[in-house]
Amino acid sequence: MPHTQDVVNEVIALLEPMVAPDGGSIRLAEFAPEQSRLTVDYSRGHNDACATCVLDGESLKAFIEEGLQTRGIELAEVTVREPDSVG
């Protein structure tokens, strides 16, 4: 059975291709299994042709939670941090 850290890394790796085409990136910032807490840093990309195609932080959080849950991991807190300034 894979370790929780490995599953977290796997889910983040699976989501990278979703944000990369528009220049976005996702990075594990903190994983505290003892507190059931995960924080990722998300730099949202930009797409002039389709602004609504760029994944927002709340949607990314939902994808992370769903990816973890389908692998048997439920965390009390998943946080997606985005930089305050865009551009």
Q: 53-87 pLDDT, tens per residue? A: 889 999 999 999 999 999 999 999 999 999 864 44
Task: Report how far apart, in Å, the C-alpha atoms of 80 and of each of 1, 10, 22, 48 are.
Answer: 27, 17, 18, 23
> What residue spans define the domains of the chain?
4-81
Q: Which CATH architecture best describes the domain 4-81?
A: 2-Layer Sandwich (3.30)
65 contacts 78 by C-beta, under 8 angstroms: yes
Q: 42-59 as b/e, with b when 16 or more CB fall inside 10 Å?
A: bebeeeeeeeeebbeeee
pLDDT top residue among 76 and 2: 76
**Mean pLDDT within 36-61:** 92
2 confidence band (pLDDT: 50, 70, 90)? low
Q: What is the mean pLDDT of the chain?
A: 91
Looking at residue 85, what is its pLDDT? Answer: 44
Note if the pTM is more than 0.85. yes
d(CA 46, CA 69): 29
